[in-house]
Structure 1
Amino acid sequence: MFIVLLTFSDNKDQAGQHMAGHKAWIQRGFDDGVFLMSGSLSPNRGGGVLAHNTSLEELQQRVQDDPFVAENVVNAEIIELSPALADDRLAFLLD
């Protein structure tokens, strides 16, 4: 499982120009069964994605395809997490 942190860079003011592409990128991640959750980092720091069913290498390539990353609107950090314990509702993450 992975946590992808997308923190705004100095090019934050260009986010509006690339928002449609970024939203389409997020939707593809959900459609492909890789993204479990996405949301904003508060206060106004960027966003984050919870990802699974992928390898680190595949996720790195996927993240590079995000228009926000490609246009340096955000800096991306991928954190790998090996779940060891989960609530029953999230037990599927332990597989």
Structure 2
Amino acid sequence: MFIIILTYQKDLTVVEAHLAQHRAYLDEHYASGYFIASGRQEPRIGGVILARASRKEEVEEVVQRDPFFQHGIASYQIIEFIPTKHCEAFAPLIE
């Protein structure tokens, strides 16, 4: 499992201009089961995506397809996360 932290590099007006494309990208990866959760940071300086993948390189490839990445709108930090404890309802998402 991976945590992807996006930090905006552009003004929010630029973020807003590309938001529909970014959401379409998110929808595509939710449909495939790859993304588990996502949302914006508060204060609004970027976002967070929780993703399932077997390798960090796989996550890096997926990130490169994000319109925010392609247009230099956000920088990305990818953190591998191995859950050792979780609630029962979360189990199907990490197995």
Q: Same fold (TM over 0.5)?
A: yes
**Structure 1 residue 91, shift from structure 2 partner:** 1.8
Contact 2:36/2:93 (<8 A) preserved: no
Number of positions where the alignment pairs a residue of Structure 1 with one of Structure 2: 94
Q: 2: distance between equivalents of 1:54 and 1:30?
A: 16
Paired residue for 2:39?
39
Distance 1:25 1:94, change over 3 A: closer
Q: Percent identity?
A: 33
**TM-score normalised by length of structure 2:** 0.89
Paired residue for 1:60?
60
Paired residue for 1:6?
6
**Structure 1 residue 17, shift from structure 2 partner:** 2.5
Paired residue for 1:80?
80
Q: 1: distance between equivalents of 2:47 and 2:7?
A: 6
Deviations 1:8-58 (A, max 9, x none): 11x234212321211111101101110011111001111111111443212
Q: Which ranges in structure 1 are unaligned for 5 or more consecutive residues? A: none
Letter in 2 for 1:24: A
